[in-house]
Protein backbone atom coordinates (compact mmCIF):
# COMPACT_ATOMS: atom_id res chain seq x y z
CA UNK A 1 0.00 0.00 0.00
CA UNK A 2 1.39 3.40 -0.98
CA UNK A 3 2.32 5.80 1.80
CA UNK A 4 0.97 9.32 1.39
CA UNK A 5 3.28 12.11 2.49
CA UNK A 6 2.39 15.70 3.23
CA UNK A 7 3.69 18.58 1.15
CA UNK A 8 5.80 19.72 4.12
CA UNK A 9 7.46 16.30 4.34
CA UNK A 10 8.24 16.38 0.60
CA UNK A 11 9.75 19.88 0.82
CA UNK A 12 11.92 18.84 3.74
CA UNK A 13 13.04 15.70 1.91
CA UNK A 14 14.03 17.72 -1.18
CA UNK A 15 15.85 20.26 1.00
CA UNK A 16 17.82 17.52 2.77
CA UNK A 17 18.66 15.78 -0.49
CA UNK A 18 19.94 18.94 -2.17
CA UNK A 19 21.94 20.29 0.78
CA UNK A 20 23.56 17.05 1.96
CA UNK A 21 24.69 15.85 -1.45
CA UNK A 22 23.10 12.38 -1.32
CA UNK A 23 24.72 11.54 -4.67
CA UNK A 24 27.97 10.69 -2.84
CA UNK A 25 27.71 6.88 -2.92
CA UNK A 26 26.48 6.93 -6.52
CA UNK A 27 29.29 9.24 -7.54
CA UNK A 28 31.84 6.88 -5.99
CA UNK A 29 30.29 3.95 -7.88
CA UNK A 30 30.60 5.88 -11.13
CA UNK A 31 34.29 6.54 -10.50
CA UNK A 32 34.82 2.86 -9.66
CA UNK A 33 33.08 1.83 -12.88
CA UNK A 34 35.33 4.13 -14.92
CA UNK A 35 38.43 2.70 -13.24
CA UNK A 36 37.30 -0.85 -13.97
CA UNK A 37 36.57 -0.01 -17.62
CA UNK A 38 40.12 1.28 -18.02
CA UNK A 39 41.46 -1.85 -16.32
CA UNK A 40 39.55 -4.13 -18.71
CA UNK A 41 40.47 -2.17 -21.84
CA UNK A 42 44.13 -3.26 -21.87
CA UNK A 43 43.47 -7.04 -21.84
CA UNK A 44 40.88 -6.56 -24.59
CA UNK A 45 43.42 -4.75 -26.76
CA UNK A 46 46.03 -7.43 -26.05
CA UNK A 47 43.53 -10.11 -27.07
CA UNK A 48 42.93 -8.31 -30.38
CA UNK A 49 46.67 -8.23 -31.09
CA UNK A 50 46.92 -11.95 -30.35
CA UNK A 51 43.99 -12.67 -32.68
CA UNK A 52 45.76 -10.77 -35.48
CA UNK A 53 49.01 -12.62 -34.85
CA UNK A 54 47.15 -15.92 -34.88
CA UNK A 55 45.61 -15.08 -38.25
CA UNK A 56 49.04 -14.19 -39.66
CA UNK A 57 50.48 -17.42 -38.29
CA UNK A 58 47.64 -19.33 -39.95
CA UNK A 59 48.50 -17.80 -43.33
CA UNK A 60 51.91 -19.43 -43.31
CA UNK A 61 55.40 -18.04 -43.49
CA UNK A 62 55.38 -17.46 -47.25
CA UNK A 63 52.30 -15.25 -47.12
CA UNK A 64 53.80 -13.16 -44.31
CA UNK A 65 57.13 -12.76 -46.05
CA UNK A 66 55.54 -11.84 -49.36
CA UNK A 67 54.62 -8.45 -47.88
CA UNK A 68 58.11 -8.10 -46.45
CA UNK A 69 59.75 -8.61 -49.82
CA UNK A 70 57.30 -6.16 -51.33
CA UNK A 71 58.70 -3.51 -48.99
CA UNK A 72 56.09 -3.82 -46.24
CA UNK A 73 56.48 -5.05 -42.71
CA UNK A 74 54.67 -8.36 -42.19
CA UNK A 75 53.21 -6.88 -38.99
CA UNK A 76 52.02 -3.63 -40.54
CA UNK A 77 48.49 -4.96 -40.90
CA UNK A 78 48.35 -5.75 -37.21
CA UNK A 79 49.46 -2.35 -36.03
CA UNK A 80 47.22 -0.51 -38.48
CA UNK A 81 44.18 -2.44 -37.26
CA UNK A 82 44.72 -1.72 -33.56
CA UNK A 83 42.25 0.60 -31.83
CA UNK A 84 43.58 4.14 -31.61
CA UNK A 85 46.14 3.74 -34.38
CA UNK A 86 44.87 5.62 -37.25
Print pLDDT tens along the chain (86 aa).
578 889 999 888 888 877 776 666 677 888 899 999 999 998 888 888 888 887 777 666 555 566 666 666 656 555 555 555 55
Q: Cα–Cα distance between 49 and 81 in angstroms, integer? A: 9
Q: Where are the domains of the chain?
A: 23-81
Amino acid sequence: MATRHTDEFRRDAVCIATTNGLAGPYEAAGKENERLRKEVRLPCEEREVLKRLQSIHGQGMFTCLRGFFAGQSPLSGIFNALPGSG
